[in-house]
Amino acid sequence: MKAGSGSRRFVYEETEWSEEPMSPTGRLMEDVGVHIVAMLGLGIPLNLPVFRAGIEKELLPRYPRFSSIQVMDDSAGGKPRWVRTAVNLDDHIIIPNVDPAIVASDPEKAIEDYVAALTTVPMDRRRPLWDVHFLDFPTPKATSTMVLRMHHSIGDGMSFMTLFVASSRSTDDPSRQAAMPPPRRTGPIYQLKPRPPLLPCKALLVWLLSYLVLVWHTLVDGVLLIATILFLCDPRTLFTRADSGRKAHIRKRFMHRSLSLDDVKLIKTVINCTINDVLVGVTSAAISQYYFRKSGDIISKKICLRSFLLVDARPVSSRQTCVSKVETGNRFSGLICPFHIALHDDPLEHVRKAKRLMDRKKNSLEVMLTRAVGDFLVKYFGVKIGAFVLRLFLTRTTIMLSNVVGPAEQITLCGHPVVFMAGSIYGQPQALTVHYENYGNTIEVTLAVDDAQFPDCHQLLDDFDESMKLIKDAASLHTLTSVHCD
C-alpha cells in the first residue's frame, strides 16, 4: 500500500546541478545491480505528514540524486547522465499491509521477511532510484521501523550517512545538528612518514626505507589483485556462494545486533589498535566459531579466506565539514583483507592478527590501486567489461566487509527519534556481507546472507555477539592482570 496524500510533486529549484555525468564507480554499481538497504528504528509511531514534510524539506534538497533519473547522453557516446526531474512522493513512500497474525507472533521476523522479499523486487527505472517503507508496528527494539532502499549508483554508505546527519537534529538538544565522532585518521588509509631533516643520516635512511617498503607492499598487493581477477580463488567452504555467483536477484536476509562501543574501546585500548582492527578480529572469531560448529571440522590447520573490505576514499580531516556539505556519489575503494578460520586459546589473538594485517595494509597503496583499476576498465573497455571483471573478482573472495561511521549521539530525523541504524547492501555476488555501523554508544552489526544458503543465519549472528563477549572478557582479564602485576 502506498502512502496517500494527493499527488503533490516535489519540484526542484533550477540550479547548476541540473545534469551531471555518472562516475565510473556509479556506472559499475548500475550494471552490477547493487542496492543499499538502511533500516532505521524509530522511537515513536509513524507520523506520516511530519515525515513526508521532512523528506521534502531536508532530504530532497540536500541530495540531488534523490530527484534525478538516469538518461543516456547520445552526445557523449551513449554514457548515462543524472538529470533532475519532479518527484511524486506517493511513488516512493510505501506503507505495506502486513498480516497482523504474523506481526503479533514475531514482529522482528515480520520485518526480516518483508525486507528479504523486497530484495527480489526491481526498482522502477523511470523514477529516482529510491523508496522508503514504513512498518508501523512495535518490535523489542523500536516503536516503528523505516526501511530506505536505494540503488548504489546514486551514492555510497558514507554519503547517505552524512545526509541523514545533515538533515537531522540532536535528540538531546534539538537546537543543534548532531555531532559526528572525531576522525580515526586524518589522511588516507596508507601511511607516508614525513620527510625528516637531512641530518642525521640514520633518520633519512629510515625514511627512504619506509618508501621502499610501501612500494614493495603495493607491488605485492597489485599482483594479488590481478591474480584474483585472473585465477586466484578462495577455497570452497560453507561460506562460499552455492551458485558461484552466477544467478541474479538472490533473496537476501538482513539481521542485526547491537554491540557496545565501550566494549570495543576497551579491547582497542588493551591491544593498542584501532576500532576497525577490533571489528575485523571479531568477524574472524565469529566466522571461525560458526564454521567449526557447523562443519564439525576439528583439524588444527588454518583456512585462509579473504574479504573485500570497503574503504571510504574521502578526506576525513573533518567529518562535520562533510556533513555540512553533503557529498553525493560513490567515493569508495577497497582492499583484499585475508583472515583465518582458526581456534585460539586466547580470543584476543583474533584481534592481534587483525591489527598486524591492517598495519601491513596501511603500508600499501592498494586502496588507490583498486580504484584506479576500476576506473581504467570502465574508461577504456566500457562498463560491461568493468562490471564483468568486478563480478568475477567478488566471486573469488568470500565475504564483503564494511564499516560506516555514524553520529556520536542519537538523532531525530524528520521529527522522529532514531533508536538504531542498521545498513547493508544486496546484489553483490557473495553469500555473506558483514556491515558495522557506529551510532551513539553502540555499533550495529548487520549480516546480509543468502536466504536459502544460511537457514540457521541467526546462529551466525549469535556467534558475533558471543565472540565480542569472549574477546571483551579476555581484554578485561588482561587489564586486571596488568594492574595486579604493577
- pLDDT per position in the chain (486 positions), as tens? 555 444 455 554 444 445 677 888 888 888 889 999 999 999 999 999 999 999 999 899 889 899 999 888 766 566 788 899 999 999 999 999 999 999 999 999 999 999 999 999 999 989 999 999 999 999 999 999 999 999 999 989 888 888 898 899 999 999 888 888 776 655 556 655 565 565 577 777 777 888 899 999 999 999 999 999 999 999 999 999 887 545 556 899 999 999 999 999 999 999 999 999 999 999 999 999 999 998 877 665 678 999 999 988 776 544 444 555 566 778 888 999 998 898 888 999 999 999 999 999 989 999 999 999 998 998 899 999 999 999 999 999 999 999 998 999 999 999 999 999 999 999 998 999 999 999 999 999 999 999 889 999 999 999 999 999 999 999 998 877 765 555
Q: How many CB atoms lie within 10 A of CB 59?
A: 24
Pairing of strands 144-151, 130-135: antiparallel
Q: Is residue 32 within 8 Å of 425, Cβ to Cβ? A: no
> Does domain 9-170 sit in CATH 3.30.559.10?
yes
pLDDT at 93: 96
Output the nine-digit C-alpha cell for 36: 543499499
Are 288 and 341 in contact by the 8 Å Cβ rule? The answer is yes
Place of cell 562443519: 295
480 φ/ψ angles, rounded to the nearest 5 degrees: -65, -40
For 301, which DSSP code? S
pLDDT for res 313: 79
Pairing of strands 399-404, 432-439: parallel
Asked whether the beta carbons of 180 and 408 are under 8 A apart, the reply is yes
Longest dimension (CA), the chain: 77
So what's the pLDDT on residue 13? 44
CA–CA distance, 376 with 136 (Å, rounded to integer)? 46
Is 9-170's fold the same as 201-408+429-485's? yes
DSSP assignment of 202-240, as one string? Answer: HHHHHHHHHHHHHHHHHHHHHHHHHHHHHT--PPP-TTS
Task: Tell which phi-psi region holds residue 348, choosing left (phi > 0), alpha (psi between -120 and 50) or beta.
Answer: alpha
Which residues are tagged catalytic?
152
In sign, the C-alpha dihedral spanning 164, 165, 171, 174 is: negative
Per domain, the residue ranges of the chain are 9-170, 201-408+429-485
Fold of the domain spanning 201-408+429-485: Chloramphenicol Acetyltransferase (3.30.559)
Alpha-carbon gap, residue 384 to 380, rounded angstroms: 11
DSSP letters for 406-449: --SS-EEETTEEEEEEEEEEESSS-SEEEEEEEETTEEEEEEEE
Contact present, 152 and 29 (Cβ < 8 Å): yes
User: Who contacts 3 (Cβ-Cβ below 8 Å, separation ≥6)?
Assistant: 48, 52, 89, 90, 93, 94, 95, 134
**What is the model's pLDDT at position 281?**
96
